[in-house]
Amino acid sequence: MLVDVSQKVVVITGSSRGIGRELARQFAREHAKVVINYFNSYENALELYNEINQFNENCILVQADITKKEEVFKLYKETINAFDQVDILINNAGICSDNLLAMMSYEQWQQVIDINLNGVFNCCKIFSKEMIKKHQGKIINISSLKGQLGSGGQVNYSASKAAVIGFTKALAKELGVFNISVNAICPGYIATDLNRENQTKKETAQNLSILGTDNNLNDLANFVLYLSSDKMLGVSGQVFNIDSRVI
């Protein structure tokens, strides 16, 4: 069965590192038109752009702070100017700023909520208008298993990812009439720049895993590709756990 996303325009927030970086690579390999978004990590983003450009010239690089609606609108305008449409929006940008609640600063709380939740709001609000106009589109919000399970020392992160799940389900009900699907994906532990050095998290995930291993980044990328393709057109408002532990 061929999963075809060729010529589809995909915007991936926070795609200079981690999960977003691998998603950008995989979509580019499948001949999609890829918008790489970054905020601070210009060198990483440029390196990715140059890598992708060797085999897919339909790729652009856009700096934008997704917590600011003006910059998200710039991201939208540059996407439309380059490709004249947007087919897939993947809200991937996210951060951790861990601490116990008693010691967590207001800045730690607000920064995580601003990026992980408010950024999703800004991107969905602005990009969905184009999808509504075209009467088609797919939005995929990267949440987390911690949004369902909670995680000690991560009340800000857990709350933001739980909110993304509720946001996804509500928005799917609003946009379904316009033939736009909205789904959330909850990865478990996947080794990225955010957590690669945290052996405790890795060992905990492996101990809880039915398969006894941590998740492969390729599993997530393959699932996102399938969900983004025309092979899955009748699914919306759903939460998919990409993990091998029972919750």
**Domains detected in the chain:** 9-242 (3.40.50.720)
pLDDT at 209: 61
pLDDT at 246: 63
Say if CB 11 and CB 90 are below 8 A apart.
yes
Q: In what order do the strands lie in the sheet with 137-142?
A: 59-63, 33-38, 9-12, 88-91, 137-142, 180-187, 239-242
Tokens of 220: 């997530």
* pLDDT attached to residue 216: 79
- Rounded CA separation 212/173 (Å): 37
Long-range contact pairs involving 202-207 (C-beta distance under 8 Å, separation at least 24): 205/245
Q: Measured between alpha carbons, how far is 174 from 15 in angstroms, rounded to an integer?
A: 27
Give the pLDDT score at 166: 98
Residue type, 1: M
Per-residue pLDDT of the chain (247 residues; tens, 9 = 90+): 688 999 999 999 999 999 999 999 999 999 999 999 999 999 999 999 999 999 999 999 999 999 999 999 999 999 999 999 999 999 999 999 999 999 999 999 999 999 999 999 999 999 999 999 999 999 999 999 999 999 999 999 999 999 999 999 999 999 999 999 999 999 988 876 555 455 555 555 555 566 666 557 889 999 999 999 999 999 999 999 998 666 6
DSSP bridge pairs for 185: 142, 240
List, by residue number, the catalytic residues. Answer: 157
For 50, half-sphere exposure in the C-beta direction (CA atoms, 13 angstrom radius) is 6
Pair of tokens at residue 188: 């478990």
Q: List the structure tokens of 108.
A: 């730690």
Both tokens of 92, joined, read 């991937």
